[in-house]
Structure 1
């Protein structure tokens, strides 16, 4: 523990007091309906408990950590006795406030013993969780078995399996990295689940718009496939799904600029106009479709029968396709040299454009001139856009495809004109 000045001690005790007041405010407001004698703890009690933890944390640094442990045990025994008395008066007694008091003590001590920012952040998150009781219980009550299973599957593949994947290249030229490929699988699976949640919470309009906006940040191709499946099951949502598909594609155009800025700033200026034009056309088309289809419908209408919220099989298939594309890019570059970059761009665009954008960005300035790099990225984006239009038509239906394809065609033409003219 670092040496503390008097100012440090006062600042940390002040933070402990503020933490207690924050949590006590939430608990006091929650229990405001109870009589004074029936309340477990209010603002003053929480403030005192936090200050108690801070003072004992300070004393522990000067004397012995045993003092802090003894204080925690004493508080716990007091809370157990209080809970036992309450249980004798009422049949249904929760322990949320008691747990919150123990957490308040711990955060008060943490304010004194370590960095103040994590303790303050934990207090804010705890207060938020305490205030969301009704919403959290409502969400749990509305969950179905398939949704709980999806959460557990997503946790399994991301928290358990992903760290076990070796983070090194295998195969020709070290092209296949199991960790990176599995990470792509996690992204696709998570996107499918988030899109499902967005649609369940936001309804048809807001849900599909959210799916498009957030899906474009991860994988617009997977987003398009997910929304197309919704339309295939329920054709009435074609217009609203088209909005989500176009928004996802437009976000992808803008995301390419961000990747270029990170990996090769020389590409930002020549890419800004074509990518900006394509994004503008896509968003304008989405706005037009939304406006034209907005008459005579209920904005809060919900989508039923969306299907499995975690398309694990589809995500695994995406990982296989990604591995095939990575191998194809490797061999095309070997066989065709500089010209193979364009072929690799077209092949990569079938699934996604991020890998190609990053690869080209690293080549520009060494083995590839900027003009060829921009052309390669535009080819990948155009192929990917055509693929998403085809997915809308084939995996969805004609109503979806005939809305998406014309907008994408104009976007590609406008982007190409701005690039080459």
Structure 2
């Protein structure tokens, strides 16, 4: 059999470098498609040649010296920059985007010859997308307010500046307070507040709230309650839709807790299915009515967006959760197994996931399934009540009334279902 033709790997790399230049040049040429021939510094051919030039300089490095690539990039940058400077003098357009794009195309072509081809291709795609999104990005930046920029910076600082330096171990004698875990809770609450603000502004009131409720309910329905209740403050007319979001998040929370518990121990499936199902139907029915019903138009019905990141509220809620965790730990140490239900009640004030995981696992070995189911139900009950209280404290009176009454109805439905079935 004849052997397969040999293809030099360098030839493949140079072809990739040329393709990178063509990709970037296609976008650059399309942007300047209305200009006269020869009136622009660089188009499809120039960028394609630039990518190939970078690939050739990179390919010469193993044969000569790295200085070939350095001098090649320096010479290209000087020549390319000089032509752009001359064009800027004539057109009074002093944007440096074209120069940076040209230099980066050269660098990506060189990297395609020397490094990982997939990385070079990914860089070229990212560069082309950024260049193509000029108008949408500029329009988005013009619409940003200083409060939104500041909120984003604060959230980034919380996540990447302060979080890494916090100790990731308990710092109290009872082993209850972990600074990293508490700070992560604060970040989640703040992030949901920021995402909720952005979703409502970009998608509109109804769609944004539904998105926040569904996504937030998977991680923290308490944070969703805080976020949406805060949005309703001083704007009573928007309360029904926001209340619908809170109730939808509560529905997601019930489904999440039920699925987690049943996944860990199938014996919990039946004891939890009936009361949780009844409560979820009440929450979901009320949420659907509030979110999907036609809303009368008129002055004062639009939702007013204020601070996109209420850092004080996030930190206070995280602190409250830390105190609750400490109290729960002390109760267990004082009362032992007899304090299980009291632990469930206190833990549920802030979070139901930790207790659900603990009791579901314990029910496989040392804890009766019935006892575990009651403990989980108590935690969900106190969590539901605590969110209604938060809605009353942080939200508009109308929202507090809706959330409180529906929550009581859901709890009553769950209790009746448990008693009769």
Q: TM-score, normalised by structure 2?
A: 0.85
Per-residue CA distance 1:346-386 (angstroms, 9 max, x = gap): 21221222333344455454544555444333322222122
SS in 1 for 2:391: helix
- The Cα of 1:95 is off from its aligned counterpart by 1.4
Aligned partners of 2:213 and 2:248 also within 8 Å: yes
Q: Cα deviations across residues 166-185 of structure 1 (Å, max 9, x unaligned)?
A: 11222134222111111111
3-state secondary structure, aligned to 2:233 = helix
The structural deviation recorded for 1:235 is 0.9
Alignment of 1:82-161 (within 5 A): 82-161=83-162
5+ residue gaps in structure 1?
A: none
Cα separation, 1, equivalents of 2:21 and 2:279: 52
Contact map agreement 2:232 2:239 (CA 8 A) in 1: yes
Cα deviation, 1:175-230, whole Å, max 9, x if unaligned, reads: 22111111111221222222222222233222322332333234221221222222
In the other structure, the counterpart of 2:303 is 303
Partner of 1:40: 41
* Structure 2 CA distance for aligned equivalents of residues 362 and 78 of structure 1: 68
Q: After alignment, is 54-63 or 29-38 more displaced?
A: 54-63
Alignment-derived partner of residue 234 in structure 1:
235
Aligned 1:324-403 pairs, distance under 5 A: 324-361=323-360, 363-403=362-402
Aligned residues of 2:177 and 2:326 also touching (Cα < 8 A): yes
Q: Secondary structure of the equivalent of 2:306? A: coil
Aligned partner of residue 37 in structure 1, secondary structure:
coil
Offset, 1:297: 2.9
Counterpart contact for 1:199–1:302, Cα < 8 Å: no
Distance in 1, Cα, partners of 2:14 & 2:337: 64
Match of residue 201 from structure 2 = 200
SS of residue paired to 1:166: coil
Distance 2:125 2:302 in 1: 33
Instruction: Identify the residue that residue 51 of structure 2 maps to in structure 1.
Output: 50
Measured against aligned partners, the alpha-carbon deviations of 1:286-341 in whole angstroms (never above 9, x if no partner) come to: 2222233x14338xx8533x332221111221221121112112122222323433
| Larger Rg, first or second structure (1 or 2) | 2
How much does 1:244 deviate?
1.7
Whether the 8 Å contact between 1:181 and 1:319 is mirrored in structure 2 is yes
Structure 1 residue 81, shift from structure 2 partner: 1.0
- Conserved? CA contact 2:236–2:397, under 8 Å: no
Contact kept? 2:192, 2:227, Cα under 8 Å: no
Shift of 1:94: 0.9
Contact between 2:17 and 2:55, CA under 8 Å: does it hold in 1?
yes
* Alpha-carbon distance in structure 2 between the residues aligned to 1:133 and 1:180: 39
Counterpart-to-counterpart distance in 2, 1:417 and 1:9: 75
1:243 aligned counterpart, secondary structure: helix
Q: Please say if 1:251 is aligned against 2:262.
A: no
SS of 2:22's equivalent in the other structure is helix
Query: Hey, what's the Cα distance between the residues in 1 that align with 2:379 and 2:341?
Result: 8
Is the alpha carbon distance of 1:26 and 1:346 closer, same or farther for their aligned partners in structure 2, counting shifts above 3 Å? farther
- Separation (CA, whole Å) in 2 of partners of 1:102 and 1:369: 68
Give the drift of 1:141: 1.9
In the alignment, which residue of structure 1 is the partner of 2:3?
Answer: none
1:36 is paired with a residue whose SS is coil
TM-score normalised by length of structure 1: 0.85
Give CA deviations for 1:30-82 in whole Å, capped at 9, x if unaligned: 22222232333333333333333334334334543333323322221122112
**Alpha-carbon offset, residue 134 of structure 1:** 2.0
152-161 or 357-366: which moved more? 357-366
What is the distance in 2 between the residues matched to 1:112 and 1:230?
Answer: 54
Tell me the alpha carbon deviations over residues 4-48 of structure 1, each in whole angstroms, 9 at most, x when there is no partner: x95755554454444333333322222222223233333333333
Whether 2:28 is the aligned partner of 1:27: answer yes
Distance 1:11 1:161, change over 3 A: same
**Separation in structure 1 between the aligned mates of residue 144 and residue 218 of structure 2, nearest angstrom:** 26
* Inter-CA distance 307–31: structure 2 relative to 1 (3 Å threshold): same
1:115 to partner: Cα distance: 3.8
1:271-282 equivalences in 2 (<5 Å): 278-279=279-280, 281-282=282-283
